[in-house]
Structure 1
């Protein structure tokens, strides 16, 4: 490890990214997943590829079958995103997980309890990685749905509609009954 005093960051020889940036990602994960004040609706609304905790899933790069010509046989650009132990995943709220599992998330491998998403659309590793994350976010947002609270004005409006519909139905019923009564022979005795 090399310590650079002028920039006050620690750089690893194997990584080009500063340790400070790595620590900020960990803090972002902790603050995003541990906020108990966030409701599942707010969590779903705030969800995007930048707020996903990168430490909770793994990426694997393999040979691609997509575009690239002869380069396809030389470079590993297909990205496979895997989230292990999805049913116990702490960074996704329980209500969201329940909806995803109940509505058959298409990327969920039930036997291994993991999510597997692949992308080989481009010739770039990073672009395929972002496409995997976008697929995950899009699938979560498409499947999950939370009912919005109904205002009292709407409740009153629909209650009056129900009441008027019931009254008109009963009036129609009474009218038909009276019409049938008039068709019968009079009973004088």
Structure 2
């Protein structure tokens, strides 16, 4: 396979363009008669659950992180209709797919517990006290 037919996700993973399938439909929105007769909306389909390009650990992580975008059969669907050109929408869908998978495979930083400083706590409480006093003063009779 040549490099033009592969979509690089990260250093280890590349997905062949042949694993992606595309559906085209009429787009919504402004555009006059052009919208009614041109199938410019692109739906990119990728079978995450059965892709031979994904190692098992990566597949599990993608299924977990992209659960809201994947249907019951394990198909990832991306819809793009930002342009009036089918070709441009297709390219946008592929780059969006690449970015989505890259972001989903990044390891999240572990959160380290922190504690506010004593000065910060005192400042917050004094500001809170001032606000309360100000509100109490407003409600008193003249």
Report TM bin, short chain. 0.5 to 0.7
1:76 aligned counterpart, secondary structure: coil
Identify the match of residue 94 of structure 1 among 43, 46, 56: 56
2:60 aligned counterpart, secondary structure: helix
What are the Cα deviations for residues 96-133 of structure 1, in whole angstroms up to 9, with x where unaligned? Answer: 22211122344211x12211111000000111101111
Q: Answer yes or no: is the 8 Å Cα contact 1:79–1:129 preserved in 2.
A: yes
For 2:85 and 2:67, how far apart are their aligned partners in 1? 27
Structure index of larger Rg:
1
User: What TM-score, normalized to structure 2?
Assistant: 0.63
1:144-163 equivalence runs, <5 A: 144-146=105-107
Identify the match of residue 11 of structure 2 among 18, 38, 42: 42
Where does the alignment leave 5 or more consecutive residues of structure 2 unmatched? 109-142
What are the Cα deviations for residues 61-115 of structure 1, in whole angstroms up to 9, with x where unaligned? Answer: 100014422210011100011123x212111233322211122344211x12211
For 2:6 and 2:98, how far apart are their aligned partners in 1? 15
Please list every run of at least 4 consecutive aligned residues from structure 1 whose deviation after the TM superposition is greater than 3 angstroms.
Answer: none
Q: Output the aligned Cα RMSD.
A: 2.9
1:1-189 equivalence runs, <5 A: 27-28=1-2, 42-44=11-13, 52-84=15-47, 86-109=48-71, 111-146=72-107
2:49 aligned counterpart, secondary structure: helix
CA, structure 1 residues 32+131, in 2 after alignment: closer, same or farther (shift >3 Å)? Answer: closer
Q: Answer yes or no: is the 8 Å Cα contact 1:66–1:120 preserved in 2.
A: no
1:41 CA displacement: 5.7
Q: Answer yes or no: is the 8 Å Cα contact 2:23–2:42 preserved in 1.
A: yes
For 1:93 and 1:41, how far apart are their aligned partners in 2? 13
Task: Give the structure with the higher percent helix.
Answer: 1
Q: Answer yes or no: is the 8 Å Cα contact 1:59–1:79 preserved in 2.
A: yes
Count residues with an aligned counterpart: 107
**Larger RCO of the pair (alpha carbons < 8 Å, separation 6+):** 2
